[in-house]
Amino acid sequence: MKKIVVAITGASGTIYGLRLLKALKANPAVQTHLIMTKWAWENLAIEHTGYTKQGVLDLADEVYNERNMGAAVASGSFLHDGMVIVPASMKTIASIATGMGDTLVGRAADVTLKERRPLLIVPRESPFNQIHLENMLKLSKMGVEIIPPIPAFYNNPQTIDDIINHNTMKLLDHLHIENQLSQRWQGINQAHQS
């Protein structure tokens, strides 16, 4: 069974994290470990996600308080197959890039890095300033996969759900979890080009 750590921070776009949890929950071969920050819980209501607190808790196998520095995911001896921070606030990214580890999200990410396990970060900010870019570049050089939720249009999305599903598909792909959440690029038929 794969174990995936999912952290949802206070950046806008809580639905991206919830959709990932929902997709992982649907896979019986995956166990999820959720860390949700105080501001992520606030965004749950502000962004009208349609989820209640209990609905979110039901999506995860294990849930940790962001202040619980003694949680299983705070230790390198806790074996997992990857961590996804979705959405990731710039504060969280800065904390990880400087190794602060002052919250459970930061500590779990630090442990993921030191144990050389996959760490995926979905930054939710625009435009990026130089500090944001430098922090993401620093993390990228350490092997972190930076996957912003930028929509694709080759699949002709008709709804916001289509856009969210496409990003979730990418995250699952990078975690090496098979899925068919969104239409994949099939190439261009040369016969139709002028």
Q: Is 12 annotated as a binding residue?
A: yes
Quote the CA–CA distance of 187 and 191 in Å, as a whole number: 12
Which of these, 40, 41, 94, 107, lies nearest to 68 by C-alpha position? 107
170 annotated as belonging to a binding site for a ligand:
yes
100 is in an annotated binding site: no
75 is in an annotated binding site: no
Cα separation, 91 vs 42, whole angstroms: 16
On whether 51 is known to bind a ligand per the annotation, the reply is: no
- Given a contact cutoff of 8 angstroms between Cβ atoms, the answer to whether 120 and 174 are in contact is yes
Query: Is 194 annotated for ligand binding?
Result: no
Instruction: Report whether 124 belongs to an annotated binding site.
Output: yes
Pairing of strands 83-88, 145-146: unpaired
Instruction: Return d(Cα 152, Cα 183) in angstroms, integer.
Output: 10
Locate the DSSP E strands across 70-161.
83-88, 119-123, 145-146
Q: Are 50 and 79 in contact (CB under 8 A)?
A: no
Question: Do 31 and 2 meet the contact criterion of CB atoms below 8 Å apart?
Answer: yes
Binding residues for dimethylallyl phosphate are: 154, 170
Binding residues are: 10-12, 37, 89-92, 124, 154, 170
Binding residues for FMN are: 10-12, 37, 89-92, 124
